Structure 1
């Protein structure tokens, strides 16, 4: 291994390895870099601490284990069967991967834009494994790329409201903040520019990015943000405080908070996970809250946020940076998975949890009827109509929250706010294939495969797939470089100008077989319907 692949960070030296991008050009990988102390024993559920120093050269050529959780096992799959799920990972998991083209020597190097990615997985699963998140596409551009693990499930999101115990929730988001602090201190060694950091994420990763935008903890830690298919205003972007349920399911007899915490910290991680799993059964319907996920914390020095996301958006009191939001044109294909389209049974579970209805009340029945009428017209809800159910799931689970956030930020953000809609359907849309969904539409998660190289996707040279990968990469890295996804001297690849959204027109970019900038997204009438419903419910909807 050649000697110049040793990088020195604050904690010690790292040995990296050479890799090749999609065009066969070299870049460097440094994997499994510790950015915090292991969150074990007394540190379980608590905010992360800065990492320890080490002696000698640490091997950084193998990727980290995921944070302890149920993981999709994608290895050795016949093409596009739904993946097996297995318990995997470790509690000692606060590591990140850095990919770069150059190491810093004496200050003669130009510093590159830094892009920090946060993975999705509903806050209960996911990892930075190269099985799904290969850097080979993004590394065709002159950037430095960082991917991080963060704690998942109750290990990352359990909250105890007594600030003196330092377990007030959002430990998983605090891990992300700690990783960003590590980036500020160390990324220059990889020729990354600490004053030009873009955070981006998909699904729960996008929700995380949105919380980091809204948080006072992250001031100066990043300079732009991209949110793909998720915002803090989506119903599942919020967790419910499940302390009482975890206490019950772990057969803890203690009642005093400090003793409860001690009990939960002393359990083996597998036993704790078993207790946690009993709580997932309560999740039903497109408007459900996350079982374990971000929460609004009690006031305390390490709190990520202590106010309602929507109030923060409307107040303008957040990190004022350029923002990009987007969605796929049929996110809700995800909600049609399996036999879940029996809408009759699920009318009860349709509405967003925040509507707080008694499900046996007349108001609730009336509202449900109104929704069914809007989507299905005179037809009885027909389980065969997966397309309509997919639309319904898209709107309740994703679009309502995303548009709520975009419209709010357009009013209060001093920097540009961009909106895209992905309508591109090619062989790379892997989630749609996994779910065996045959009709038109781009599923939640299908955008990932144009930005990262997954081991289970393939494309032919000079195909629409390849052109599309290059377009996505160009838009994302242009935005990271100079806050503008389509600079005026844009290459032939883009051929269009993407205007930021305004209060009058939402100017979105449709990312299809071509790139088209248009005024109002086709889903707007459905979103407006939900705004009206919300006003009727008079749900804190400004």
Structure 2
């Protein structure tokens, strides 16, 4: 059979055929550029549209990821030339004139790791359904997040969000060539990808580029989702040259370095200052390409955002992610710092080290979590609640109060053979590691390599895959994960003014109300101690 060739704005693409979980064929087009390589003077700036090419471009292999450290193989991987898409469709316009719902995946990885790899995020599960699936690669680390306060330098930050936005614009222009409907686009992402999706929901400049959104274990209210400090760009440059005094000098010097030299500087910077609060999106000063210029909670409360149907969720034990880090520290002979409660004072609260409220928050947290739990379990629960559950549930509640479009909330409790992060860690034998860890949902939406990740795909997992896929694609098709007459024989009720309805996704699908009331009551009290987070959990 001939390889499929299609035409987009920039030229022709040659793709190839793959098979979904049921062995049925679909088309794949990989490494499709949506922007110029962001190198030279474009380093750190908003992306520019891709240039045209001559001839037929090969689109049968993934493009390179953004520069990052590959911890498994202990080496630097990637390229600055990383702004590309993976596109998957069951039919082409020559075969079917009916346009299909489009689902656009934004990967997670703490704004510093990950890619749209069709191996790690295999499309075989979602392509059971008649949709068009697009996965986005974007700049990571300081390549995607660096910012300077001097507006004349035109480096206001959020390049990674602007990459994603340009990808959405490319999709609007071109997705019909893949039988995708530009008027029915759902953006979805997990962790940093979920927070990215939330930023686009809140951004006036992303209006009209999508019509529904799914936020998985990541929202802008999460403590890691926004930089709260100033002058990070200058700090970063001074890691390379301590004599740098101005942001203009810093930018000139940073643009002169190779990508490898930049990454080595980033490694040293993280070792000195840490990654959280440094590498993430930020509130920009108003500018022509700005994504977000106000606090997220203020944008939502004022109703000045893109009001679309939302699906938002979390996993029961997201904090096992940090337990995995602590377990690895133990194996290296290190002693994890279980009692550092400062990290549970949400940085968005802007509470200083000497503020009496900081001591009050730490005492509330200590008393609530450490009284009846082991120190390990106390840490996992604190991480789960303060970092994920409270911000996620609070986001769902606040949006539900301020829009007529439905907001669907879920909690994943399933603990089975495709819980990808927990099983790949190798620590599933540890009793306190029960429940669904951060990123465990990904194994039921995307096919990942089984053997190196210790994954098992039996009947329980196959049933779960089909449920996840049906819920997510129904939402993309209809704006409702359980439309009337759905195959799941389920009605997923949205969050309303009276009750926080949510779907418990376990071995069965069960509607419940008001998740973790006592734990969330604590975080509501904490968030209301600061005007900057007072609406985080109403």
TM over 0.5, shorter chain: yes
Give 2:509's aligned residue.
515
Q: Which residue of 2 aligns with 1:349?
A: 343
1:280 to 262, 270, 279: 270
What does residue 68 of structure 1 align with?
A: 67
Note closer, same or farther for the CA distance 1:414–1:486 as it changes in structure 2 (3 Å cut): same
**1:418 to 2:408 alignment:** yes
1:359-405 superposed Cα distances (whole Å, 9 cap, x missing partner): 3665533431221111122x6x744xx22221111111112211221
Specify which of 237, 243, 249 is matched with residue 233 of structure 2. Answer: 243
Query: Per the alignment, do residues 312 and 50 of structure 1 end up closer, same or farther by CA in structure 2, a change over 3 Å counting?
Result: same
Q: Call closer, same or farther: CA 1:530–1:85 in 2, change over 3 Å.
A: farther
Closer, same or farther: CA 515–275 of 1 in aligned 2, 3 Å: same
- In structure 2, the residue matched to 1:76 is none
Normalising by structure 1, we get a TM-score of: 0.92
Residue 289 of structure 1: CA displacement?
Answer: 4.1
Residue 210 of structure 1: how far off its partner (Å)? 0.3
Q: Gapped runs of 5+ residues in structure 1?
A: 73-82
Q: Which runs of 5+ in 2 are unaligned?
A: 330-334
Deviation of 1:414 (Å) = 2.3
Moved more, 121-130 or 169-178: 121-130
CA distance in 2, matches of 1:231, 1:361: 27
SS in 1 for 2:108: coil
Q: Which residue does 2:534 correspond to in 1?
A: 541
Say if 1:189 and 1:336 are closer, same or farther in 2 by CA, change over 3 A: same
**1:528 CA displacement:** 1.5
Are 1:56 and 2:55 counterparts?
yes
Structure 1 301/338 Cα, relative in aligned 2: closer, same or farther at 3 Å?
A: closer
Work out whether 1:229 is the aligned partner of 2:217: yes
1:105 paired residue among 84, 89, 94: 94
Kindly state the Cα deviation for residue 356 of structure 1 after the two structures are TM-superposed.
Answer: 3.5
The 3 A distance-change label for structure 1 pair 338 and 321 is closer
**Higher mean Cα deviation, 409-418 or 226-235?**
409-418
What's the secondary structure of 1:310's corresponding residue? Answer: helix
Matched, 1:322 2:302: no
Within the alignment, does 1:199 sit opposite 2:187 as a pair?
Answer: yes
1:423-445 residue CA offsets vs partner (Å, 9 max, x unmatched): 01111112112331433211000
Q: Aligned partners of 1:485, 1:338: CA distance in 2, in Å?
A: 35
Is the CA contact (8 Å cut-off) linking 1:130 and 1:455 kept in structure 2? no
Q: Which residue of 2 aligns with 1:505?
A: 499
From 77, 83, 90, the equivalent of 1:88 is 77
Separation of aligned partners in 1, 2:242 and 2:165: 32
Q: Within 1, Cα distance between the matches of 2:436 and 2:55?
A: 48
Is the partner of 2:189 in helix, strand or coil? strand
CA contact (8 A) 2:191 2:218 kept: yes
Q: Distance in 2 between matches of 1:309 and 1:528?
A: 21
| CA gap 1:233/1:510 in 2 versus in 1, 3 angstroms | same
Partner of 2:319, secondary structure, is: helix
Determine the structure 2 residue equivalent to 1:265. Answer: 255
Aligned to 2:462: 466
State the distance in 2 between where 1:230 and 1:143 align: 24
Q: Determine the C-alpha separation between the residues in 1 that align with 2:269 and 2:117.
A: 27
Pairing 1:324-343 to 2, within 5 Å after superposition: 324-339=311-326, 342-343=336-337
Tell me the equivalent position of 2:135: 147
1:460 deviation in Å? 4.5
Q: Find the residue that maps to 1:235 and give its secondary structure.
A: coil
Q: Secondary structure at the match of 2:81?
A: coil
Structure 1 pair 228/85, CA: closer, same or farther in 2 (3 Å)? farther
Q: Of the candidates 475, 479, 482, which is equivalent to residue 483 of structure 1?
A: 479
Cα drift, residue 224 of structure 1 = 0.2
Equivalent-residue separation in structure 2 for 1:501 and 1:85 (angstroms): 44
Match of 1:298 among 285, 310, 320: 285
RMSD: 1.9
Further displaced range: 84-93 or 10-19: 84-93
How far residue 422 of structure 1 moved from its aligned partner, in angstroms, is 0.2
Counterpart secondary structure, 2:340: helix
Q: Render the CA deviation track for 1:88-107: whole Å, top value 9, x for unaligned.
A: 0000110111000112239x
Change in 2 beyond 3 A, CA 1:358/1:256: closer
Give the aligned partner of residue 332 of structure 2. Answer: none
**Cα displacement (A) at 1:344:** 5.0
Please say if residues 289 and 353 of structure 1, whose CA atoms lie closer than 8 Å, have aligned partners that are also in contact.
no
Report if aligned partners of 2:238, 2:244 keep a CA contact under 8 Å in 1.
Answer: no
Verify the 8 A CA contact 1:110 1:191 in the aligned structure 2: yes
TM-score under structure 2 length normalisation: 0.92
Deviation for aligned residue 1:306: 0.5
Alignment match of 1:390 (pick from 365, 369, 380): 380
Deviations 1:492-512 (A, max 9, x none): xx2210011012111100001
Query: Distance in 2 between the 1:91 and 1:507 partners?
Result: 43
Distance (whole Å) between structure 2 residues aligned to residue 338 and residue 134 of structure 1: 26
Instruction: Answer whether contact 1:510 1:517 (CA < 8 A) is retained.
Output: yes
Q: Report how many residues are paired.
A: 519
Alignment partner, residue 210 of structure 1:
198
- Residue of structure 2 equivalent to 1:180: 168
